[in-house]
Amino acid sequence: MNFIRLAAFLLLLLGLFSFSGIAPRAFFSDLTKKVFRIDAKKNRSLESRVKEARKNGRKRGLPGIVGHASDSLALMDRKSTFVFIAELSITGICVGVATALLIGNIFLVPVLGVSFFLLPFTFVFFLENGFRKKVSSELEVTLSVITNAYLRSNDIVRAVKESLPNIKKPIHEIFTRFVASCEIAGASPTGALAEMKGRMGNKVFDEWVMQAMLCQRNYEMIPMLIPIVEKLSNERQVQADLKTIMYDPVKEFVMMTVLCLSILPLLFLIKRDWFNIFVFSTPGRIMMAIDILIILIGIYKCVRITRPVEYE
């Protein structure tokens, strides 16, 4: 019965869109821009910009999650997909609420609504973890090769140019732009290095860039780049040592989640009365909503604790 009502509501909604001449995708796109204020930065007042600059610390809660996802996509050079992720999150609210109503559990409406809203952003965090691990591994090799070439030639532009064939993506584009800025645009090595800072979102890389800028004034400081590169090796070693420790809680969580979810079909097969109490009674529905909420929070925490180890 609930499925029939939901289907009728969706057909009625599509009919209203068709009658009014509004495309559903355009409607959700405009709604997404209003909710996430995607184009609001262009029209912000000076007062709002000053207040934002005076804020200390990172945003927390839903604004922090959305802002971190936007920064992560920009770091991975996928800024254009943020609108699509935001549209998925808005659609996820509708899907979550519809699923809860279809099951007939009103207590699941806020749980599934918020959870389906955060699901696309959690996937972005998962992609960011893989991207940071790849960048950290490539940075260790790249900075080591460039530093050794710089020690031989005392010329940062020449060292980077010689090392370009051994540099892989996504770092290759950054150093290619550095060489082009120096040789084609005529920029100074110090200015070109300053433009590289913050491009990788890695503290060790930024420290290496700052030290390379100082080396342009005093070439005797070039050997100071070696300890900075060694920090990346330390990160890799710590990551390998902590891999088992970090993934043990994830394995335990997966096992407990499987056991928790397997109780429902077991009750249906073994004890039908208990199954009816858990699914159709008010206390059972509240317990189901709490269980699903705990599982979804655990999934989000598992994604967070698997972040790669980095210097702060």
d(CA 97, CA 109): 5
Tell whether 77 is covered by a domain. Answer: no
pLDDT by residue, tens only, the chain of 312 residues: 555 665 665 655 565 555 555 555 555 565 565 555 555 454 555 455 445 544 544 556 666 777 777 777 777 777 777 778 877 887 888 888 888 888 778 888 888 888 888 888 888 887 877 777 777 778 888 888 888 888 888 888 888 888 888 888 778 888 888 888 888 877 788 888 888 887 777 788 888 888 888 888 888 888 888 888 888 887 777 777 777 677 777 888 888 888 888 888 888 888 888 888 878 888 888 888 888 888 888 887 777 777 766 666
Tell whether 125 is covered by a domain. Answer: no
User: Which backbone phi and psi does 193 adopt, to 5 degrees?
Assistant: -65, -40
Tell whether 49 is covered by a domain. Answer: no
The pLDDT value given to residue 246: 73
- pTM, two decimals, is 0.64
Residue range(s) defining the domain that contains residue 164: 133-236
What lies within 8 Å, CB to CB, of 293 at 6+ separation is 111, 115
Tell whether 156 is covered by a domain. Answer: yes
3-state DSSP helix/strand/coil % of the chain, to nearest 5: 85, 0, 15
The pLDDT value given to residue 309: 62
Tell whether 225 is covered by a domain. Answer: yes
The pLDDT value given to residue 3: 59
Tally of CB atoms within 10 A around 118: 22
Token pair of 178 as six digits? 């550095």
d(CA 96, CA 213): 52
The pLDDT value given to residue 50: 46
Number of domains in the chain: 1
H or E element that contains 129: helix 108-153
Tell whether 183 is covered by a domain. Answer: yes
Token pair of 277 as six digits? 């109490």
Contact yes or no for 308/129 (Cβ under 8 A): yes
Tell whether 43 is covered by a domain. Answer: no
Token pair of 7 as six digits? 């289907």
The pLDDT value given to residue 53: 47
Question: 41-50: long-range contacts (C-beta < 8 A, 24 or more apart)?
Answer: none
Tell whether 241 is covered by a domain. Answer: no
Torsional class of 31: left (φ above 0), alpha (ψ -120 to 50), beta (otherwise): alpha
The pLDDT value given to residue 260: 84
The pLDDT value given to residue 5: 61
d(CA 146, CA 167): 9
